[in-house]
Structure 1
Amino acid sequence: METQITELFGLQIYTDKGMFVGEVEDVMIDVDQKKIEALVVSKVNDQLFELKNFKGLKIPYRIISAIDDIVLIRHLPGAFTGGSAEEE
């Protein structure tokens, strides 16, 4: 996966099961390792997460499957509180 960091801002994030997670607000970079560490999410789907005392959501870069018109992440069973009956 190769893309400009600025192209990530505003992209919608979905799980590989089609669940909307939110939008890319920022990118966390590990300067020492010269790699992207995580994506910071805004406009978080409040049906997937309990948002009491919400401090922000970071998606670890290692669970990203693809980036193009959207960001596709691996669905992590148990990571989301709401959603559909298809969840494992």
Structure 2
Amino acid sequence: MKWQISELFGMSVYSDKAVFLGKVEDVVLDVTNKKISGLALSNVNKDVIDTKNYLGVIIPYRIVKEVGDIIIVRHIPGAFKVAGEPLFGE
């Protein structure tokens, strides 16, 4: 399936556990390998992602499972907060 990169902007991103993560603010490109390397999210759900006072977060494109009306990413154990406590990087 082909689509324009600009179609990703503003799309909602959910985990495959049906948890809202944020909205696509920008796309990170790997121009050497001619592929998308990440999605920059804004309006991040701070209940599940610890942004450490940054405005957003970049998620690797390799965890994207589906792109349609929304973007679904693979859940990675330890990457998201559980019960308000960050599990990754602390």
TM-score by length of 1: 0.86
Aligned-residue CA RMSD (Å): 1.5
1:42 aligns with 2:42: yes
1:5 aligns with 2:10: no
Cα distance in 1 for partners of 2:50, 2:62 equals 23
Provide runs of 4+ in structure 1 moved above 3 Å: none
Moved more, 24-33 or 50-59: 50-59
- Cα deviations by residue, 1:19-70 (Å, 9 ceiling, x for unpaired): 0000000001111111111010000001012333326311111110000000
Match of 1:56 in 2: 56
Q: Which amino acid in 1 is paired with 2:10?
A: G
The answer to whether the Cα contact below 8 Å between 1:49 and 1:82 also exists between their aligned partners in 2 is no
